[in-house]
Structure 1
Amino acid sequence: MFVLSPLIAALALATATTAAPPTPSNPSNTTTPATTNTSAPTYCVPRAVTPAEQSEIFAAFVQEFYVVRNVANAFKLYIVADYIQHNPYEPPNGAAGSVEYLTPIFSNLSIGVEVLHQGFGGGIGWVHSRIDNIYPYPRPVAIADIFEFTDSCVKEHWDVTQELPADATNPLALF
């Protein structure tokens, strides 16, 4: 069974060049080299931020990941390299594998991705989305993604997925 979720992976890259997420206090998204290795992917390095800044960072992540559908950039700016994935059908922890796994899905524009609701509070962000035309589901899928932050970066992800039943009697079901 294939389950789409916004975060997955297999490899933590501790020696990457890192970038801080843009915020009001860092609008230029300046890059801070961790080492001289510039060929490796880059990921978010946590830094202290206010709860309001966390909320702004989460909104920017949702825009980049779900709306713009730029997986690599969303991970570079907002996800820690050693991020923790709880979805049992996806590759294990780490950002690099997530980017590799999710990029073909999100770059396929025949797969519909629509953010229906989102919220943030207490270091936790959530997104309720509708996904259409994704194998193996013949009908729309509702996904609730939950993201936990550490300072300025997403560090952990959970999701709940449900396909719209063929015999649904509630016209408001899932969406």
Structure 2
Amino acid sequence: MRSQFALIVFAAPFALFHGILAAPSCIPDTSTTFCDPSRPITGSQMRSIFNTFVDQFYFKRDFQGAMKKFVSSNLIQHNPQIANGSQAQVEVVTSILANYDGPEFELVIIDVERGYGVVFNRFRGKAGTGLPITGVADIYRFEGSCMVEHWDVIEGLPPNSTNPMPFRK
């Protein structure tokens, strides 16, 4: 009996660390990567991962940390102005969003059946830049716990817009 107790006491921390005894935490601390295309996840885990990614990437503007933790380094990019790979997206987004305030709102849609997360945001050009209010829809495709593919739709508000507030929440 004592040997079984000793085995449990010494083996439990190892098993918990490696996710053997308990389901792994859905969102780890910010210093680790969470991206594993082969790791199956539930719909609620996908929602949690995507919501955490959106908060870290868009609102906290921790582009590097969010991409490292949740997005494949081999990200398939469908924006013709950005190369494939998560690092290319970090570099482009960092330079573009340096001139924008926001986002001012978010709308997140998650299709757990097909493995997609979509976020809609509105950004406002910083004073003096002359940049218009811009609506952005980013679409990410999941494989396991990892986002592996990205599309975006970007629309700037032209000065002669018939609809002055098309990006309103």
Which residue of 1 is the match for residue 77 of structure 2? 85
Distance 1:168 1:30 in 2: 41
Could you say which structure has the higher helix fraction?
2
Structure-2 separation of matches of 1:103 and 1:169: 31
Aligned-pair distance for 1:93? 0.9
Counting only pairs closer than 5 Å after superposition, residues 1-175 of structure 1 correspond to structure 2 as: 25-26=24-25, 27-29=27-29, 44-46=35-37, 47-90=39-82, 92-106=83-97, 108=98, 111-114=100-103, 115-121=105-111, 122=113, 123-133=115-125, 138-175=131-168
Rg larger for: 2
Identity rate, percent: 34
Q: Deviations over 1:87-126 (max 9, x none)?
A: 0122x211222233333444x3x52121331111131111
Distance 1:74-1:50 versus aligned 2 partners, 3 A rule:
same
Structure with larger RCO (C-alpha < 8 A, sep 6+)? 1
Q: CA RMSD for the aligned pairs?
A: 2.7
Pairwise CA distance, 1:45: 2.5
Task: Please state whether the residue corresponding to 2:64 is helix, strand or coil.
Answer: helix
Residues in 1 aligned to 2:109 and 2:167: alpha-carbon distance in whole angstroms: 17
Alpha-carbon distance in structure 2 between the residues aligned to 1:48 and 1:89: 32
- Structure 2 gaps of 5+ residues are 1-22
> Contact between 1:72 and 1:103, CA under 8 Å: does it hold in 2?
no
Partner of 1:6: none
TM-score by length of 2: 0.71
Q: Label 1:30 to 1:166 Cα distance change in 2 as closer, same or farther (>3 A).
A: closer
> What is the alpha-carbon distance in structure 1 between the residues aligned to residue 108 and residue 30 of structure 2?
27
Deviations 1:36-84 (A, max 9, x none): xxxxxx6723221111101110000000000110011101110011110
TM-score (norm 1): 0.69
CA shift for structure 1 position 167: 1.4
Aligned length: 140
